[in-house]
Amino acid sequence: MTSQEEMQTVNNKDPNRGEMIAVCSAKGGVGRTILTVNLAAAIYKKNISVGVLDGDFQFGDVGLALDLHSTFTIKEVIETIGSLDEHSLLGFLSNHESGIKVLPAPERPEFADMITKENTNSILDKMLKLFDYVFVDTGVGFNDHTLNFVEKADQILVVTNLEMATLKNTKLMLETFDKLGLSEKVKVIINRATMESVISATDAAQILREETPYYIPNDFQVCSQSLNIGIPFVMKQGKTEVAKSIFKMAELITSKRQAIQPKSVKNNSLLDKLFPMKRKKGGKSL
Ligand SMILES: Nc1ncnc2c1ncn2[C@@H]1O[C@H](COP(=O)(O)OP(=O)(O)OP(=O)(O)O)[C@@H](O)[C@H]1O
Ligand SMILES: [Mg+2]
């Protein structure tokens, strides 16, 4: 056994399991998707295999952000779930020129209804065997799928910007993660941190009680162009400040890998913890 394997065994973590990173936000339009794809591409540049699951099953835009014209989405994978193995799953994933492999969201929002937690977990477990890192763009706020993703994830990245409404909701999201006992794996990304705003990036960090957030500068031109052409800016505009901040984050994330602690076994689902009354049979409150 190598020392690396020994350490991972001590940590009680399957050494063959990749690391799952859930990228969440309490508000839409804050940069969840652009940060997910750029971070994924930046990690791939370090010769580390990376898969991305678009977990925004209704309105996912990872495919658009990467200009993928995929024949297959998670819908087609679920249609074969009974016989799915890692090899067949690989055949469904879209190869982006950045090197990352992507499972896009269904083409239409109504298809999201056919996606269950069990199916998603089965797909994720296979992706975690195939890749060193698996990123999930979770969509906005909390729903059953998001809660499942964050419970399963090794790291949770919560994206915010400097707007008051976003900060208010991000604070609520962080408090909820705290309540669920997940705060140890949560890290905040303050996106567009250099944007002119009445609230500064350091104010935002204080409001969120986050001592060491990741800061991503504001660069609308680079970001919108990258989204429009479907090429992560870390690929062709690696010298820009915004790309450098992503490389720095990729470095910090990958260097942390050894320090991840094993997840404790939980008996109750996160939904039960959040909504204990709602889930009691017979609806009687105690
Ligand atoms: N650091 C940044 N600097 C400037 N503009 C940015 C930055 N990050 C994101 N943007 C812009 O913000 C917009 C939203 O980005 P993106 O689509 O990644 O957000 P999202 O959170 O995934 O949105 P949705 O909730 O709709 O999925 C885009 O126009 C993007 O160019
Ligand atoms: Mg998005």
DSSP codes of every residue in 78-89: HHTGGG--HHHH
Q: How many angstroms is it from 267 CA to the middle of ligand 1?
A: 37
> In the predicted model, is pLDDT for residue 1 greater than 60?
no
d(CA 158, CA 174): 8
Task: Tell me which residues have their CB closer than 6 angstroms to ligand 1.
Answer: 25, 28-34, 61, 140, 191-192, 216, 218-220, 223-224, 227, 242
- C-alpha distances in angstroms, 146 versus 159, 215, 254? 14, 24, 23
> Per the structure block, which two tokens stand in for 216?
């991503």
- Which ligand minimizes its atom distance to the CA of 158? 1
Residue 29's nearest CA partner among 152, 191, 186 is: 191
Instruction: State mean pLDDT over 256-285.
Output: 47
> Per the structure block, which two tokens stand in for 43?
């990690």
Q: How confident is the model over 214-227, as pLDDT tens digits?
A: 999 999 999 999 99
Residue in the structure block whose two tokens are 């794996």: 185
Q: How confident is the model over 52-110, as pLDDT tens digits?
A: 999 999 999 999 999 999 889 999 999 999 999 999 999 999 999 999 999 999 999 99
Position 54 scores a pLDDT of 98
Q: Tell me if 85 sits within 8 A of 126, measured CB to CB.
A: yes
Residues with C-beta atoms within 5 A of ion ligand 2: 33, 61
Give the gyration radius of the chain's Cα atoms: 19
Domains of the chain with CATH codes = 15-283 (3.40.50.300)
- C-alpha distances in angstroms, 49 versus 66, 95, 252, 282? 17, 12, 17, 48
Q: Tell me if 214 sits within 8 A of 187, measured CB to CB.
A: yes
What's the predicted TM-score (pTM) here? 0.88
The residue nearest atom 12 of ligand 1, judged by CA position, is 31
